[in-house]
Amino acid sequence: MSSPVRRRTLLATGTAALATAGLAPTAVASPPAPGRERRADVTLDAEVLDGGEQIVSVTIDASRQGGLVAGELPASTFTVNARATDPLTGEEAFDLDRTVTAASIDPRGRITVELEHGFGVAGADTLGWKEDAARNVQLDLEYTLTQNEPLPVRGGGVPWISALVQGDLVSPEVDAFTAHVSASGTNYRLFSPPRDGRTDPLPLVVWLHGGGEGGFGEDGGEYYDNETALRANRGALGPATAEAQEILGGALVLAPQCPSAWMEDGPRFEPLVMEIIEEVAASHPVDRDRIHVTGASNGGYMTLKMVVENPGVFASAVPICGVVREYGDIPGPLIPDSELASITEPTWLITSADDATVDPIANTVHAHELIEGSILSLYDTVTWEGVDYPGHFSWIYAARDDPSHEGESLWEWTAAQRL
């Protein structure tokens, strides 16, 4: 096989098509008749699930085939192979056939091939974990579709599709965030709600990602993609959903990306985050009485750090499974007790009792006991829609607006806070 095509898909159905692509032939159930095959555009459909982004389906624009009959297709019509490689080393992360759960043709001639997906499903992820760097990286994906059966057609329709190399995957919630770099070189993504003629200032929600979503190398020189902070979990996406936007009254959502990990040098990174907030406020109608900060794990620490270093700036803080004591080889306390006790901003802390990564008692519960008037949501486990997740994943609850206090949900509480 030729060298991997960066974040591309390959659709294959016939010997001639594969020869054009410079690849070895892939067998099909019945070879297309000469001159009876056509090319079609293909996209990878991605969705950020509670456990991270996955390819949930493949869509083929076969409208140029002509005469396709809309309706359900046998799941066996296509075989879908997924191959992923590390973007830095080229090392293969996986190479396997995905399970096709359904397939269909819509009236416009678009074919959707649905794939098994969910937490722990092999070969579905768009991110890979680099153990040596303790970071997520966006994998280079190469999908090969083999058509095993002809498509139903009428008249002069063409039942076979030939090979095509396609561009980046489509992930609508992620793509709704625009990409930016601050004046000092810090990556960030920004969601802006539709204005619909409104001129009033908007609340701003700042999401601070976990340690696995930062860059690495000197100042992120080895890897710094402005992608993983949105794709690794729904932390930033939750406040940008239609449900959250309705509650928040239309909010900007800001997701800075640390060049490394927030906990490695919080005092250095704090002004970088503030610089981004100021840049956004200078170019967007930000209501400075309604700037909210939240984050998970490394970002939970950074949430508290931002509040401590910038009193009177944030209307609320929601640190999730954050660190305030020492952690690993990082000496502590990262947030001294005196600083925790000085916090007067409305604060809602979230964690799970079975968190095996960050001790919930020594960190979140301890912070709650020192921050006067703070709210604590202490879950027993992290279980959502019948799926059990690691105890550290308590950000899932926040992203789904599950925490509640005295009849008020997390987003409702956030919307009510202002300076």
Residue 42: name the closest of 55, 25, 23, 26 by CA: 55
| Spatial distance between the Cα atoms of 198 and 188, rounded to a whole number of angstroms | 25
Which residues make Cβ contacts (< 8 Å) with residue 268, sequence separation at least 6? none
Maximal CA-CA distance, the chain: 78
- Three-state DSSP class for residue 193: coil
Q: Judging by DSSP bridges, how do beta strands 127-130 and 135-138 pair with one another?
A: antiparallel
CB-count exposure of residue 191 (10 Å: 0-12, 13-18, 19+): buried
| Spatial distance between the Cα atoms of 402 and 119, rounded to a whole number of angstroms | 19
**How many C-beta atoms surround the C-beta of residue 130 within 10 A?**
18
- Residue 15 · residue 148 · CB < 8 Å: no
According to the model, what pLDDT value does residue 157 have?
79
Mean pLDDT per 10-residue interval, the chain, length 419 residues: 31 31 30 58 94 97 89 96 96 98 96 97 98 96 92 87 70 98 98 88 98 92 95 98 98 98 97 98 97 98 98 98 95 97 98 98 98 98 98 98 98 98
- Residue 210 · residue 322 · CB < 8 Å: no
Residue 28: name the closest of 118, 117, 148, 129 by CA: 148
| Spatial distance between the Cα atoms of 256 and 394, rounded to a whole number of angstroms | 20
| Spatial distance between the Cα atoms of 285 and 157, rounded to a whole number of angstroms | 53
How many angstroms from the chain centroid is the CA of residue 153?
Answer: 38
For 173, 228, 229, 308, 314, the CA distances from 88, given in Å and listed in that order, are 26, 15, 18, 37, 38
Tell me the pTM.
Answer: 0.91
Instruction: Tell me the β-bridge partners of 79.
Output: 146
According to the model, what pLDDT value does residue 195 have?
84
According to the model, what pLDDT value does residue 38 have?
66
Transcribe 232-289 into DSSP letters: S-STTTGGGSHHHHHHHTS-EEEEE--SS-GGG-HHHHHHHHHHHHHHHHHHS-EEEE
CA angle (104 as vertex; 98, 42 as ends), nearest 5: 65
How many angstroms from the chain centroid is the CA of residue 334?
Answer: 27
